Amino acid sequence: MMRLLQSVGQNGLATVAGLGDFATFASRAVAAALSTRQLGRRWIRAVHEQGVRCVPVVTIVGLFAGLVLGLQGYYVLARFGSTGLLGTFVSLTLTRELAPVLGALMIVGQAGSAIAAEIGIHRNSEQIDALTTMGIDPVGYLVTPRLLAALIVFPILTVAFTLVGLAGGFLSGSSLLGLSAGVYWSSVHSAVQPADVRECLLKALVFGVITIAICCHSGFTTHRRTGVSGSRAVSLSTTRGVVLASIATLAADYLITSFLI
Amino acid sequence: MIDAPPPPILEVNGLRKRFGEHVVLASVDLAVPRGSIVSVLGRSGTGKSVFLKCLAGLLTPDAGAIRFENDSPDRFRRRCGYLFQGNALFDSLTAFENVALPLEHTTRLGRREIAQAARDALKNLGLDKFADYFPAQMSGGMQKRLALARALVTRPQLLLFDEPTAGLDPPARNAIFEMIVRDRQRFDFTAVVVTHDVPEALAASDRVALLEDGQIHFEGTPAEFAASDDCIVRSFGDNIVTLRTSLDK
């Protein structure tokens, strides 16, 4: 019993310490935006890393999400004789929930894992120490550009996900199942309000900052993985970064939704 | 009239560092005279790299004092360079970009001046033809020279070398030590070299320190090291003879 209590206490303390460490790390990254030089060039590279490289996966997943929503929605609404509301169903589901959440998860899978692994390798090969000895703030050099890139990449890719998803819903609802195109697009137009778009973009922004900060932090602290080192530590950091970022996305989604609904 | 020894650029007193229960540095005292090359010898695992990382501020000592000439450690460290054992080059940057990196981020130089300084640094180390190469396209010796070019480009006053010849063949090891001596004269820096290469260190250094059991066991000139009767010091000096004798048996 004592051992159990001791273990719970130790884990609790470690979690609190970890949260504190993460908060310090994230604030350092934000503060470094003011002092880091050559930020523009590294920001462009980060936008390419997170944005351009993630376009295929985000659009493909968005298309299939829209296709499935159109298909499922059509048959459910048909039971109530309301197939005319398919556009409303697809657009609101995408805008409010699926596009920000699934988009973020896809970017985490593609870019977040790469970021955690790259920074982990920088840590393993003493490149982060080298930056420190050169007088360059490693957080400002490696993390800040990526956080700033997330601020623009996540909203843009979320909008892309939504648009492709709407097209997917149209393909399955209208082209395959025969719903009038005019009915579909007019219900999309009348359903989506500015508040929905704001919610969508707010979620994308929050998910972007949280997930990229978690992935960067996970790579940055690769050397603190106890009991492992080298490539195994990088592998664990990458997995941990992706898992924590995914959980944080869903938790933040619930919190934001509960505040805004 | 005997010249007074140059004042120390770096003075370490009672430096202590442990990891958990394992005491790596028990109490290290060392003075590094300005303009000299000081080699720190010792067996593997005696804390030579830990000592160097404490000097560079990468590790925080548990106790002891590190004094840099006329300056606070944080400010002085901006005028230090560090050559890592694994070179720590950025593999996604070319040789030119690796060398230009510290100038871009820590100086107010313009783009042209940075480019000129980086080209000069590469040329000084015979790498001017490889400016567009990535580190992975270079040999171990070239990577070491590139790391040295990056460390020298900011004209540091103190250069810390962590096993600069690790993984290199004997001619390349000699070349690295020759380079340290030659560049010390050219760029007027002080060097602390952590190494296992006793013959090269004795030939190239002004002073030698031997780290044993977390303390500086011996400190003196290479001639004093070679003439020492201390059994631990002799075990380093005689290791080549010992190996030859063992092989002959």
Query: What are the mean pLDDT values of chain A's consecutive 10-residue runs (261 residues total)?
Result: 88 90 92 84 92 94 96 94 93 95 96 95 93 92 95 96 96 92 94 94 96 95 80 92 96 94 79
Contact B149/A at CB under 8 A: no
Structure confidence by residue, pLDDT tens digits, B90-126: 999 999 999 999 999 888 888 999 999 999 999 988 8
pLDDT of amino acid B1: 52
Cβ contacts of residue A166 below 8 Å, gap of 6+? A66, A90, A91, A94, A188
pLDDT of amino acid B229: 84
Structure confidence by residue, pLDDT tens digits, B119-159: 999 998 889 899 999 999 998 889 989 999 999 898 899 99
pLDDT category at B192 given cuts 50, 70, 90 is very high
Q: Which two tokens stand for residue B192?
A: 């602390």
In this prediction, residues B227-246 reach a mean pLDDT of 69
pLDDT above 80 for B75? no
pLDDT of amino acid B38: 93
Query: Per the CB < 8 Å rule, is B84 touching A136?
Result: no
Contact A126/B at CB under 8 A: yes
B75 CA: distance to closest CA in chain A (Å): 10
B71 CA: distance to closest CA in chain A (Å): 16
pLDDT category at B238 given cuts 50, 70, 90 is low
Q: Amino acid letter at A128?
A: I
**Alpha-helical runs (H) found in B156-238:** 170-187, 198-204, 222-227, 231-237
**Alpha-helical runs (H) found in chain A:** 2-31, 39-50, 55-79, 86-93, 99-107, 113-124, 127-133, 138-142, 144-170, 181-191, 194-220, 230-260
pLDDT above 50 for B217? yes
Of B151, B198, B208, give the one whose Cα is nearest residue B33: B208
Tell which of A134, A142, A223 to mutate to test the B interface (max B CBs under 10 Å).
A134
Q: Amino acid letter at A129?
A: D
Of B235, B205, B239, give the one whose Cα is nearest residue B222: B205
Query: Per the CB < 8 Å rule, is B86 touching A125?
Result: yes
Query: Per the CB < 8 Å rule, is B105 touching A125?
Result: no
CB count within 10 Å of CB A235 equals 16
B159 CA: distance to closest CA in chain A (Å): 11
Residue of A nearest to B55 (CA): A133
Residue of A nearest to B74 (CA): A135
Query: Per the CB < 8 Å rule, is B53 touching A127?
Result: no
- Top-ranked range on mean pLDDT: pick from A223-227, B55-59, B198-202: B55-59
A34 CA: distance to closest CA in chain B (Å): 13
A96 exposure class (CB count in 10 Å sphere: 0-12, 13-18, 19+): buried
pLDDT of amino acid B245: 58
pLDDT above 50 for B243? no
Query: Per the CB < 8 Å rule, is A37 touching B88?
Result: no
pLDDT of amino acid B248: 59
Higher pLDDT among residues A193 and B167, named by residue: A193
pLDDT of amino acid A223: 86
ipTM above 0.90, yes or no: no
pLDDT of amino acid B246: 56
Tell me the average pLDDT of chain B: 87
A 137-176 residues with CB below 8 A of B?
141
Q: Amino acid letter at B66?
A: I
**pTM of the predicted model as reported, rounded to 2 decimal places:** 0.87
In this prediction, residues B200-213 reach a mean pLDDT of 89
B93 exposure class (CB count in 10 Å sphere: 0-12, 13-18, 19+): middle
